[in-house]
Structure 1
Amino acid sequence: MPRKTTLKPLPAFRTEAAERAFWATHDATDYLDLSTARRVVLPNLKPTTQSISLRLPSHLLDGIKAAANKRDVPYQSLIKIWLQEKLHP
């Protein structure tokens, strides 16, 4: 893909919300030379989590807790591990 020779000047944003609104309606290739972009690694970035409520039969929860106890991990962590393994085998 040919590089754009003239890039538009990037506006100054007063707030993060204003910047989000701008990028929702504008093409980044008009403002940035993406051919010079570099991949970055953010090692301390933790994924956003969301609390959910999940009703389980008592015998199932007891079994999960017993399995977690054998592995010496919290049962909630074991549930997350099993869900991740099932979603991405």
Structure 2
Amino acid sequence: MAEGFDEATQKELATFMDNERARARVNQSIHTLTSMCWDKCVTGTPSTSFSRSEESCLANCVDRFLDTSLFLVKRIEQSRQEMTGSQL
């Protein structure tokens, strides 16, 4: 890692970097979600408010995106646990 730093500072720096990477992943997911749902749901010229159908579509799109993301995270974690269990 960073030479010249003591062990505590290196651990703190590693934790900071892990947190920043996680934050970047969340930001990327939000960007993807926003772009995807906007393209799918907002079909007219944007105004000061969404139409009832656009609002409903956006809510459903976000819900399905989050459901899918949660499902994938759980499935990946399950696969990791199965791999770890088979290696013991």
**TM-score for both structures, normalised by structure 2:** 0.26
The structure with the largest alpha-carbon Rg is 1
Q: Which has the higher helix share?
A: 2
